[in-house]
Amino acid sequence: MKFDTPATQNPIDQLKVVGQGLDRIDGPLKTTGKAPYAYEHHDTVPDAAVGYVLGAAIAKGRIGAMDIEAARRAPGVLAVVTAQNAGKLGKGKMNTATLLGGPDIQHYHQAIALVVADTLEQARAASRLIRVQYERAAGAFDLAAAKRGADNAGKKGRDHAGGNAGKPDRVGDFERAYVAAAVKIDHTYRTPDHSHAMMEPHASTAVWEGDALTLWTSNQMIDWGRSDVAKTLGVPKEKVRLVSPYIGGGFGGKLFVRADAVLAALGARAARRPVKVALPRPLIANNTTHRPATIQRVRIGATRDGKITAIAHESWSGDLPGGKPEEAVQQTRLLYAGANRLTVQHLMELDLPEGNAMRAPGEAPGMMALEIAMDEMAEALGLDPVEFRVRNDTQVDPAAPERPFSQRRFIECLRTGAQRFGWAERSARPGARREGRWLVGMGMAAAFRNNLVTDSAARVRLDAAGQVIVETDMTDIGTGSYTIIAQTAAEMLGVPLAKVIVRLGDSDFPVSAGSGGQWGANSATAGVYAACQKLRTVVLERLGFAAEGAVFAEGSVTDADGRKALLRQAAADGELVAEDVLEFGGLDKTFQQSTFGAHFVEVGVDAYTGETRVRRMLAVCASGRILNPKTARSQVIGAMTMGIGSALMEELAIDQRAGFFVNHDLASYEVPVHADIPWQEVIFLDETDPASSPMKAKGVGELGLCGVGAAIANAIHHATGVRVRDYPVTLDKLLAGLPQPPVAGRFPPAASP
C-alpha cells in the first residue's frame, strides 16, 4: 500500500480500541518473569555453553603477541576465538568499530578474544590466563583539546551540514544580521559523554544447524541486524535468522549489532555447540556505543521587542575515524523563526568507544544548549521565557517558506503548560523565592523532535476460531509495541483485543520499521493497518460481501444490504492470510513533519550545599494521535526521568592517560531513581496528523526527553541566579555563586525540598 496523500476517514478513526489507555498485553509475562530475554532461552537451547569476552587493555595501538594456550587447556574450555583464528570477517555498515579487534586496537575494551566454556566461571577464569603483549600508541581522548588543536591550526575538523560534509548550512546573511542586532548573546555550552544503562545487558544466544545460524539477541532493528551479521560473518543473509521477542531496554544502544552477537556466532561455530554471551556491565560503556560529548556555541541576535533576526548554532563532537557527528544543530533549523541562520557540525576524530544513537540523538543534547540560550536571550530582553518563544513561532520551514508544517501546535503547548503549571506565579527575578534553606525556582524549555517514518510490513492471519494473528519483525523494547499493534488489528477487523495474538521480533516475519528514532509505533502500526486492509478485502471476497459500506465490528461483518456473518465464518474452510507493506511516499517533502512540546520544572536548591532536588515536572506534547495514552505516558515520564539524569548527574569520566570511561558500572555511573522524582504530569494535546500516516500518529517517546535538561538548568538559574552552561549541573558548579546565608554560621533546619 502506498501512502502519498493525507489520510482521510478510515476504520482507525472509530477509536473503539485505538486511542484507549489499555494495559500492556505483555505485562503479565514481564512481571512474572516468563518473558524470555536473549540470554534466557533455556528451554529452546538447553545445552548452551557460555562465552566470556576479553576486552583490550589499551585504547590505541596494536597487539604485538597473544598467547591463548593456557586458556585453551583450562578446565571446561571448549574454544578460544580471536581475530587470528576466526577467519576473515567483514564489517557491517552500521558499525564504526570493528567488533573483534586485532592486531589493531581502535578503543579501550574492544573485544579481542572470546573464551567458550561449560560455565561462566570457567570461561571467565580462563580469560585471565590469556597473555597479551600490547604496543601502545598515543591517542586522542579529549574533545576540548582536539577542538583547541584544530582551532590553533586554523581548522574546524570535518564539517557537516545536514549530512553533507564540507560547508555550513546557511539561510540569509547571519554575520551581517548578528552585528546589526539590537540585543545579542554568544555563549558556549558543553554536554558530556553519556552511557546507556538499560537493565538487560547486550546479550545473544547462537545456534548453528549446518551452515544456517539462528541468533537470539537483544536488538531493536531485526532486518538491519540480520544484514550486518550476514555481512560480518560472510554468509548469505537467508542463512541468518535473528530472534528478539523481548528486549529489556534499548534506547538506541541496541539499534546495531554489537560484539556479543558476532562473538556468540563465532564461538558457537568454533565450539560446535550453542553458545550464549552477555557483555559485563563495564563493556556496555566501553565496548558498545554511547552518546558523545558536545561543545556547542549558540549566538542569537534580536530586535528590542524580541524578534529573532539572527541565529547560529555550531556543535563539535567526536567519534572514531569514519564516524559521524552528534547532529546537535538540526532542531535549530526548524524550531524558531529568523531570517538569517547558520548551523554547522564539526567532527573531531577521537580514540574513544564508538559514538552513536542514544535516545533522541541530536535533539537531546542540542536542545540542552539551544533552550538555555533562549532563556538567556529572554533575560537579556527582559521578556518572559514563554512569551519570547511565542513571539518567534513559525508555521513554515524557515529555510523553505513554501513548505508548511503538517501540524504545529507549539504555542498551544506553551500556553497550556504555563497555565497548568502555575507559571504566572513565577517571579521574574532569580533567587526571589526561599523556603527555609531551599532556594526554589521554575524553568521551562521547548520540546522538539522530527517525525520520521519508515516503510513497514506485516502479515495478518485469521483462523477458524476467529483469532487474528499478527506477525512482523517489529520489536518491543519495553515501550508497548505488542499492545498498540494488537489495538490496530482489533480496530481494523472489529474483534476484541483478547482475540488478537501478536508475534514480534523474528526475521522470518515481514520487515517492519523496528524500534528507534521515535518512528517505530507510527510506522509499524501503519504496516499492520495495510495488512489488515488487505485481509478485510480477502474476508469480504470469501463471504461474497461488497466492500462498499461493509462494517467490521464485534467479531462480525455486516454489508451495506444488512447481511451479517461472523468473522470466523470467512476462515471456516481454512486460514486466511494477508501480507502488505506500507510504503511512505513524498508527503514529508510537501510538509515539514515534526512533533512539539513544552517542559516545565520546579526545583529546590539547598542554599548551603548546592544540592538540587526536582520537585515538579510537566510535559505537554503535540505529537499526532496517541495510540495508547497509558503506554505513551509511561514513555514520556521515562524520558523526563532520563532528562533529570542528563541535567544533574550523568557524565562518563574519561581517564585521559589510558583513554577509557572510568565510571563504567551502575554503582558509579549515577542515574535517577524513583525517589528523585516526586511529581510528574503529562498532557497530550488532542491532535491527528493526516499527512503523517494512515494512523494519523507520530512518535512521542523521544519528544519527552528533548528540552528536559535545559528546563532543569533554567529552573536552577531561576532559583539561585547562577547560570551553569556545563552539564551536568552538579553542586560544585553552583557553590561559588550561591547567595550568602542570611545569618553567617547558622544553618536552618533541613526541611523537605
- What is Dmax (Cα atoms) for the chain? 89
d(CA 569, CA 561): 18
CB 613 within 8 A of CB 604: yes
What's the grid cell of residue 715?
529552573
Query: Closest by alpha carbon to 182, among 308, 298, 297?
Result: 308
What's the grid cell of residue 537?
478485502
**Neighbouring C-beta atoms of residue 390, cutoff 10 Å:** 16
d(CA 268, CA 412): 56
d(CA 289, CA 256): 9
d(CA 10, CA 407): 20
Beta bridge partners of 355: 290
Amino acid of residue 185: I
d(CA 205, CA 36): 12
Beta bridge partners of 111: 55
Q: Helices 222-233 & 259-271, crossing angle to 10 degrees?
A: 50
Active site residues: 702
Beta bridge partners of 76: none
Burial 102-141 (b: 16+ CB within 10 A, else e): bbebbbbbbbbbbbbbbeeebbbbbbebbebebeeeebbb
The residues near 737 (Cβ < 8 Å, ≥ 6 apart) are 720, 721, 722
d(CA 358, CA 48): 32
The one-character DSSP state at 511 is P
d(CA 394, CA 390): 9
- Residue 438, classed as helix, strand or coil, is strand
Angstrom distances, CA of residue 748 to CA of 257, 358, 751: 54, 42, 8
Burial classification of residue 623, based on how many CB atoms lie within 10 Å of its CB (0-12 exposed, 13-18 middle, 19 or more buried): buried
d(CA 39, CA 279): 11
**Lookup result for grid cell 476462515:** 571
CB 642 within 8 A of CB 709: no
CB 310 within 8 A of CB 301: yes
Beta strands in 244-307 (DSSP E): 275-278, 294-302
- Residue 646, classed as helix, strand or coil, is helix
d(CA 389, CA 566): 55
Q: Rounded to 5 degrees, what angle do the CA atoms 71, 75, 79 make?
A: 50
Beta bridge partners of 601: 443, 617
